[in-house]
Amino acid sequence: MTVLMSAPTTRRRARSAGSAAKQSRRSSLAVSRAMLWPALATSIVLTQIPFVVTIFYSLQNWNLLRPGDRGFAGLDNYVSVLRDGSFLSSLGATVAVTGSSVVLSTVLGLLFAVLLDRNFRGRGLARTLMITPFLVMPAAAALVWKWSILDATTGMANWALGLVGIPPVAWNTDVPIVTIIAVLTWQYTPFAMLILLAGLQAQNKDVLEAAAVDGAGPLRTFGWITLPHLRQYVEIAVLLASIMLLQVFDPIAIMTRGTGGTKTLSYLLYERAFVGLEVGEAAAYGVMTVLVTIVVATVALRTLFKVFSTEGLGR
Amino acid sequence: MTTSRLRGSLVTAVTWVLVLAFFFPVAWMVFTAFKPERQAATMPPTFAPDLTLSGFQAVFDRDMLPYLINSLSASVGSTLLVLVLAVPAAYALSIRPIVKVRDALFFFISTRFMPVAASIIPVYLLLQSVGGLDNITWLTILYIGVNLPIAVWMMRSFLAEVPRELIEAAQLDGARLGTEIFRVVLPIVMPGIAAAGLICFIFAWNEFFLANLLTAQVARTTPPFLTSFVDGRGQFLAVLSAAATVAIVPVVIAGWIAQKQLVRGLAMGAIK
């Protein structure tokens, strides 16, 4: 999944013929490379090499509790990953958690972006308050939501429901997946909002005025002009949020420990590797997770393209 | 026209209700931090508590300071090193001529999108074998890997906005590379560097997975330490809220102050 740079130009530089202009171009190319390589090398060492090692581990039979048994296993780990029901259910959990959080935070983010793009008194303050959930440490958010907002007996959610006569819900024990989606949506709505707000502000005001002059109502203008314009921004928000949320770990480790349909791939891998000490199998989960990420990113983009180009939202 | 103005104020009112609802968990957490423990978790909630600092007192009695210092050194250290690596790289990718810019950019962003799952097992085993677990330096180094791509990506979009004539003029003047960068380009992109640095700082400060897995006592950072305030035996909500408040305050205040740069950095990093 990575593309490496071509080799440096040392050889070419050895043949030092050519005009002075060519010479300076080359030396400036060499300088550019010298500026680029430290970052590139750091990135390769810290992320690519470990991934290659992960692939190697995934082909090995290796449990840390039985160091003597280590050996080449071929694709055995992948076979047992696919046979084991926990991979599929985990894939389902990942899709459910990521999918609902991404959709909810994009829809809410669009709503807030439109509301906060209007001119009104205190808009700056409203925007400041709105971006705060994104700045809050995810571990703190998970803890506060679990114990302060969603607690069955003393939580604010149940208190608020009680005000309108709805009986309390045991969020943390009965519907753990809802608690995870709630926290993730809360944290990622500001993120989606920021990107969509940037999109709204980049809109050509003349076109909007022309539409208004032509007698298009605000809803039609929004559906026919603003939404199509926002398309690329929605795509980016969805794509980035999906990729970040696919690997989400904090709220699951803190709030549910993988119970109630919240055992996502990253949490399953964590359990297999660092609780079960199954290095080979966990590495296979790691490789599968990377594949799923690539597939989701691709599918997410494709689907979005389709939805927008064939349906033309807002009719 | 009065109906449209009425509708306008109605939308504004709805906006405020929604915004305040979204902000409520943070406000409630800070409020709870100032309550005595017995009034923190009650039904119905206590809206007029006896305000106290005892929650914060308890947090620092439990020795939160070393964890905050660990978080600070990992975040500041990794952010500075990321900038030292990312600014020249982004400069090479945007201003000075280089082949395969797209490939390099794609490479950087793809490493950011690669799940930690892809690399964590070898990293853990390596650190274990060299005695690098529970070591803040190693955590700092790993954070460089996490944040470098974002910084390169963001810095490149900021640098792309520097007028080329400015640089060409400096080059014609015979300004050497160092002068070109320090005198001409850096002052212009300083806000961009600040934004990229802030985002790297926030991500490092808030990071939980690596910190939780790779540190134990000595190098423990704030996010995993927070979870230790959940106490199965008794009431803990006030002290937990106080600890969480202390943990989020640096980043939230920094984010509020640098809001413009932050928003611009995120949007530009994402879109351009």
pLDDT score recorded for residue A75: 82
pLDDT at A110 over 50: yes
Least confident stretch, A3-12, A49-58, B40-49, B217-226:
A3-12
Locate the chain B residue with the closest alpha carbon to A29. Answer: B98
Token code pair at residue A267: 């949490």
Q: Whole-angstrom Cα distance, residue B107 to residue B114?
A: 11
Q: Whole-angstrom Cα distance, residue B31 to residue B52?
A: 10
Q: What is the pLDDT of residues B171-191, one digit of tens each?
A: 666 666 667 777 777 888 888
Which candidate from A129, A137, A191 shows the least CB-CB separation from B223?
A137
Query: To probe the interface with B, which of A132, A179, A229, A281 has the most B CB atoms within 10 Å?
Result: A132
Q: What is the pLDDT of residues B200-213, one digit of tens each?
A: 898 899 999 999 98
Asked if the C-beta of B224 comes within 8 angstroms of chain A's C-beta atoms, the answer is yes
Helix axes A20-43, B136-159, angle to 10 degrees: 140
Token code pair at residue B130: 């060299």
**Which residues does chain A have within 8 Å of residue B149's beta carbon, measured at their own beta carbons?**
43
pLDDT score recorded for residue B235: 82
Please report which residue ranges of A214-260 form alpha helices under DSSP H.
Answer: 218-221, 227-246, 250-251
Confidence category of residue A309, pLDDT binned at 50, 70, 90: low
pLDDT score recorded for residue B143: 92
pLDDT at A116 over 70: yes
pLDDT score recorded for residue A106: 94
Token code pair at residue B190: 């300083």
Q: What is the pLDDT of residues A208-260, one digit of tens each?
A: 778 878 877 777 888 888 888 888 788 878 887 887 888 888 899 999 888 88
Confidence category of residue A2, pLDDT binned at 50, 70, 90: very low
pLDDT score recorded for residue B1: 56
Asked if the C-beta of B128 comes within 8 angstroms of chain A's C-beta atoms, the answer is no
Q: Whole-angstrom Cα distance, residue A214 to residue A146?
A: 51
**Which residues does chain B have within 8 Å of residue A3's beta carbon, measured at their own beta carbons?**
103, 106-107
DSSP label of A8 = P
The proportion of chain A whose per-residue pLDDT surpasses 90, expressed as a percent, equals: 17
ipTM of this predicted complex? 0.86
Asked if the C-beta of B228 comes within 8 angstroms of chain A's C-beta atoms, the answer is no
pLDDT score recorded for residue A19: 55
Asked if the C-beta of A1 comes within 8 angstroms of chain B's C-beta atoms, the answer is yes
Give the closest-approach CA distance of A155 to chain B in angstroms: 8
pLDDT at A16 over 50: no
Asked if the C-beta of B150 comes within 8 angstroms of chain A's C-beta atoms, the answer is no
pLDDT at A108 over 90: yes
Confidence category of residue B99, pLDDT binned at 50, 70, 90: low
Locate the chain B residue with the closest alpha carbon to A122. Answer: B16
Taking CA A143 as the corner, what is the angle to CA A137 and CA A147, rounded to the nearest 5 degrees?
A: 150
pLDDT at B29 over 80: yes
Least confident stretch, A170-179, B51-60, B261-270:
B261-270
- Segment B37-41 mean pLDDT: 80
Give the closest-approach CA distance of A212 to chain B in angstroms: 15
pLDDT at A298 over 80: no
Give the closest-approach CA distance of B158 to chain A in angstroms: 16
Locate the chain B residue with the closest alpha carbon to A189. Answer: B22
Q: CA distances (Å), B63 to each of B33, B35, B118, in order? A: 17, 20, 35
**Which residues does chain B have within 8 Å of residue A141's beta carbon, measured at their own beta carbons?**
25
pLDDT score recorded for residue A252: 92
Asked if the C-beta of A25 comes within 8 angstroms of chain B's C-beta atoms, the answer is yes
Asked if the C-beta of B142 comes within 8 angstroms of chain A's C-beta atoms, the answer is yes
pLDDT at A133 over 90: yes
Q: Where are the domains of chain B?
A: 2-56, 63-271
Q: CA distances (Å), A274 to each of A63, A246, B133, B212, in order? A: 11, 20, 14, 12
Domains along the sequence of chain A with CATH: 84-275+285-311 (1.10.3720.10)
pLDDT score recorded for residue A313: 42
Residue of B112 and A267 predicted with greater confidence? A267
Confidence category of residue A314, pLDDT binned at 50, 70, 90: very low
Burial classification of residue B125, based on how many CB atoms lie within 10 Å of its CB (0-12 exposed, 13-18 middle, 19 or more buried): middle
- Segment A118-146 mean pLDDT: 91
Residues 49-78 of B with CB under 8 A from A: none
DSSP A163-214: HTTPPP--HHHH-HHHHHHHHHHHHHHHHHHHHHHHHHHTS-HHHHHHHHHT
DSSP chain B: -HHHHHHHHHHHHHHHHHHHHHHHHHHHHHHHHTS-HHHHS-SS--SS----SHHHHHHHHTT-HHHHHHHHHHHHHHHHHHHHHHHHHHHHHHTS--S-HHHHHHHHHHHHHS-GGGTHHHHHHHHHHTT-TT-HHHHHHHHHHHHHHHHHHHHHHHHTTS-HHHHHHHHHTT--HHHIIIIIIHHHHHHHHHHHHHHHHHHHHH--HHHHHH--STT--HHHHHGGG--TTS--HHHHHHHHHHHHHHHHHHHHHTHHHHHHHHHHHHH-
Residues 6 or more apart whose Cβ sits within 8 Å of residue B39: B46, B49, B50, B238
Asked if the C-beta of A235 comes within 8 angstroms of chain B's C-beta atoms, the answer is no
Locate the chain A residue with the closest alpha carbon to B212. Answer: A250
**Which residues does chain B have within 8 Å of residue A138's beta carbon, measured at their own beta carbons?**
206, 208, 223
Least confident stretch, A17-31, A259-273, B11-25, B99-113:
A17-31
Query: To probe the interface with A, which of B30, B82, B111, B156 has the most A CB atoms within 10 Å?
Result: B111
Can you tell me whether residue A78 is helix, strand or coil?
helix
Topology, domain B63-271:
MetI-like fold (1.10.3720)
Q: What is the pLDDT of residues A201-217, one digit of tens each?
A: 877 777 777 887 887 77
What does R_g of chain A's alpha carbons equal in angstroms? 25
Are the Cβ atoms of A43 and B148 closer than 8 angstroms?
yes
pLDDT score recorded for residue B7: 84
pLDDT at A14 over 60: no
pLDDT at A141 over 90: yes
Residue of A129 and B55 predicted with greater confidence? A129
Asked if the C-beta of A192 comes within 8 angstroms of chain B's C-beta atoms, the answer is no
For B216-247, b/e burial (b = at least 16 CB within 10 A) is eeebbbbbbbbbebeeeeebbbbbbbbbbbbb
Mean pLDDT computed over every residue of chain A: 80
Asked if the C-beta of B176 comes within 8 angstroms of chain A's C-beta atoms, the answer is no
Q: What is the pLDDT of residues B70-79, one digit of tens each?
A: 999 999 999 9
Confidence category of residue A188, pLDDT binned at 50, 70, 90: very high
Q: Is the peptide bond before B44 cis (omega within 30 degrees of 0)?
A: yes
Give the position of tokens 């920094």: B254
Q: Which helix (H) or strand (E) holds A305?
A: helix A279-306
pLDDT at A90 over 60: yes
Q: CA distances (Å), B244 to each of B41, B67, B209, in order? A: 16, 13, 17
Which candidate from A1, A31, A127 shows the least CB-CB separation from B177?
A31
Least confident stretch, A65-79, A225-239, B139-153, B188-202:
A65-79
